Amino acid sequence: MSSSADVFYHVAPVIGNGFTYPNETEVPWSELIVIYPYITGLVAGAFVVSSLHHVFGMERFAPISKFALLTSLCFMFFAPTPLLFHLGQPTRALNAVITPHWTSAMAAFGYVAGFYICLLLLEVWFSFRADIVGLSKSTTGVMQKVYKTLTLGSDDVSASALHADHTIARRLAMIGIPGACGLHGYVGFLFGSLKTREWWSSDLMPIIFLLSAVGSGVGLLIVIYVVACWWRKQTPDNGAMQGLLYVLWSGIVIVMVIEALEMVQMIYKAREGVEGVFDLINGPIHVGLFFQWGGGLLALLITSIMMLKTPKGSRLVFWLFVCGLSMMISVLAMRWNVVIGGQELSKTMRGLLTFHPEVFGRESLFTVASLFTAPFVVLYLAQKLLPTVWAGEELEPEERVFDIHKAI
């Protein structure tokens, strides 16, 4: 039996004579549930960038669109893992899929996540099929067998076949856009639909989750892209970086406005227990809010200056990297403030709790760090497997046929 009191403690006296319900002294959703929406957010954000090229044909994103797609897939593999670690009975996780109880928002999770993983897998396969065929013919030994298997027996690289690949991948991406919005809007709904938690119960929650996902996802792409280019001793593509700047700036502006509106609305409505909200803001989550708003404002300030000055080259890369990183930190802090903060404000609205995360253990910071590192490792392996991810899609299908033949 765990002695929860060691981990969490009751700091009730906030509003004069604070009080929480006895069962509330244990925070039900820990840091694992912070990382879950964070990872799905990164998936959605990265997917949006890849779609800007695949669906809308924005050529400036061509050098990173396949990479963005692969990033999205690698992170999506790990999106459900924090939930598994969190469950009291993880071996029964599939119960929710086998016998879903449809009045529950959570019952749809398995289907939503499963659908999205399948969609991403399909899109990745169609986007990389020509490359896989090329690799299956230019490699030898075990790797050749691996690539041959990955072609799934489809090694037609004629112009019409490549055109079909492109069309299908584009259509999948078109389905993926509402899919990504749905996936992340849905995560916001999981929280926003709970009437018991004043801090969560907001109609704006799905939209806030979705928009912050775009911000953090683009931030992640910038960070990985810059680090990968530095690692591979290459210069990041100026056009792509410029495009990422535009998307990041738009994301930050919209999400900050909506978040501010939500906060103002809550305070202005001043429903019963609003004093508890003030105490929460000034108390347990004030550091988190500092990172959330500080990171967001810093990124907004720098990107705004960059929008005006339009820097190029290493200046653009450095400052955009700073913005991407601070946006990632800001959104991570936002997830913490929402998930943990919502539970630190008692359902009595008359008391606060302070959450102390465990460092080691099943639900601990170590687990979170491991689960968050895993997608990066998988992404590293994936780009080793599919090195053409860096080639971009600047070539026309006909030219790629030539390219592949040359590889053979």
Q: For another protein, give the closer residue by CB, 95 or 154.
A: 95
Q: Which residues contact another protein by CB under 8 A?
A: 1-5, 8, 10, 16-17, 19-26, 28-29, 83, 86-90, 92-93, 95-96, 99-107, 109, 194-197, 343, 347-350
Buried b (16+ CB within 10 A) or exposed e, 183-201: bbbbbbbbbbeeeebbbbb
CB of 120 to another protein, least distance (A): 23
Q: For another protein, give the closer residue by CB, 6 or 140.
A: 6
CB of 47 to another protein, least distance (A): 25
CB of 10 to another protein, least distance (A): 6
CB of 328 to another protein, least distance (A): 27
CB of 46 to another protein, least distance (A): 27
3-state SS record for the chain: CCCHHHHCEECCCCCCCCECCHHHHCCCCCHHHHHHHHHHHHHHHHHHHHHHHHCCCCHHHHHHHHHHHHHHHHHHHHCCHHHHHHCCCHHHCCHHHHCCCCCCHHHHHHHHHHHHHHHHHHHHHHHHHHHHHHHHHHCCHHHHHHHHHHHCCCCCCCHHHHHHHHHHHHHHHHHHHHHHHHHHHHHHHHHHCCCCCCCCCCCCHHHHHHHHHHHHHHHHHHHHHHHHHHHCCCCCCHHHHHHHHHHHHHHHHHHHHHHHHHHHHHHHHCCCCHHHHHHHHHCCCHHHHHHHHHHHHHHHHHHHHHHHHCCCHHHHHHHHHHHHHHHHHHHHHHHHHHHHHHHHECCCCECEEECCCCCCCCCCHHHHHHHHHHHHHHHHHHHHHCHHHHCCCCCCHHHHHHHHHHHC
Q: For another protein, give the closer residue by CB, 87 or 257.
A: 87
CB of 88 to another protein, least distance (A): 2
CB of 190 to another protein, least distance (A): 8
CB of 356 to another protein, least distance (A): 14
Residue 354: strand pairing partners: 9
d(CA 305, CA 301): 6
Q: For another protein, give the closer residue by CB, 96 or 327.
A: 96
Q: For another protein, give the closer residue by CB, 213 or 339.
A: 339
Q: For another protein, give the closer residue by CB, 156 or 358.
A: 358
Q: For another protein, give the closer residue by CB, 36 or 47.
A: 36
Looking only at Cα atoms, what is the longest distance across the chain?
Answer: 77
Q: For another protein, give the closer residue by CB, 26 or 156.
A: 26
CB of 372 to another protein, least distance (A): 21
